[in-house]
Amino acid sequence: MRDKYCIVKTSVAPLYSKPNFKSELISQSLIWEKLYIIKKNKNWYKVKQWDNYVSWIHSSYISNNNINIDYKKDYGWFFLNKTIIKKELLLSFGSLMPFKKINDNGDFYMLLPDLSKVHINKKYLISVKHLLNSDDLINFALTLKGIPYLWGGKSSFGYDCSGFIQSLIRLKGINFPRDCSDQTKSKLIESKSIEGIKKCDLIYFKENSIFTHVGLFINSVEFIHCSGEVKINSINKNNKFYCSNLSELEFSIYRFKK
């Protein structure tokens, strides 16, 4: 196979369990994401993402062209800290894209995979060289409240629970696994007791002895998660966000290692 990699050219690309649109949507890929091509099946590609997640993507969502850009000289990589809505353009929160400074007033332009350019202000950007601390991460997470649940979702048009957490944690420069079961096995985190919970600790819930849901603590008792929509809940009965359904499940607390 000539091309070992491809680039996602659409705002969001659906990723499937099998090479057909009737199979299960298992994840998503955002614009500019570089995918490693494992094999091809007609108009479908079996690909591996930056987190080693393997799935199938249709050729209509990708570009195989070699885009020659001197990123180190002219461009910097930034995450979008909000959903961008412009004429004929819709981009998800958390998209990682190349940007170039225009002037000293905070004006940049983003480069799209077709090499067209779109003006944007720096206030909407998070540089990969200056990633978020816990307080900033939580503040951005709160802006996503109300985003609907979508099985396999990893964009601000729809998240699933683990996709939401993975997307947030990446803004701290941490490449975290995609699914709950893999996240709990990650060497990046360690189990801890329920006492002394801190911001950005994680809570995982079990059903039938399998981890199926995750949330991120925004303080010592409340966590943000995606269940139906992105929202705040607590397992503390005295808290206004108490959720009885979650409190009945077995759970474990994890913290990122320093």
If we measure between CA atoms, which residue out of 94, 96, 88, 86 comes closest to residue 120? 86
- CATH code (residue 25): 2.30.30.40
* H helical segments located in 44-108: 71-74
Cα separations (Å) of 84 from 91, 157, 257? 5, 11, 33
Do 140 and 248 share a domain, yes or no? yes
Do 142 and 247 share a domain, yes or no? yes
Contact 148, 161 (CB under 8 A): no
Do 182 and 84 share a domain, yes or no? no
Of the candidates 110, 127, 144, which is a domain's last residue? 127
Do 157 and 233 share a domain, yes or no? yes
Do 149 and 233 share a domain, yes or no? yes
Do 47 and 111 share a domain, yes or no? no
- CATH code (residue 169): 3.90.1720.10
Do 9 and 51 share a domain, yes or no? yes
pLDDT digits (tens, 9 = 90+) for 143-170: 999 999 999 999 999 999 999 999 999 9
Do 185 and 167 share a domain, yes or no? yes
Do 122 and 203 share a domain, yes or no? no
- CATH code (residue 76): 2.30.30
Task: Classify each residue of 131-147 as buried b or exposed e, where b means 16 or more C-beta atoms within 10 Å of its C-beta.
Answer: ebebeebbebbeebeeb
Half-sphere exposure of 198 (CA within 13 A, CB side): 7
pLDDT digits (tens, 9 = 90+) for 9-23: 999 999 999 999 999
Do 178 and 230 share a domain, yes or no? yes
Of the candidates 127, 144, 163, which is a domain's last residue? 127
Domain that holds residue 19: 5-63
Question: 0.85 exceeded by the pTM?
Answer: yes
List, for the chain, all residue ranges whose pLDDT scores fall below the cut of 70: 1-3, 65-73
Do 116 and 148 share a domain, yes or no? no
Contact 186, 178 (CB under 8 A): no
Of the candidates 63, 80, 113, which is a domain's last residue? 63
Residue-level pLDDT at 86:
87
Do 227 and 193 share a domain, yes or no? yes
Residue-level pLDDT at 252:
97
What is the total count of domains within the chain?
3
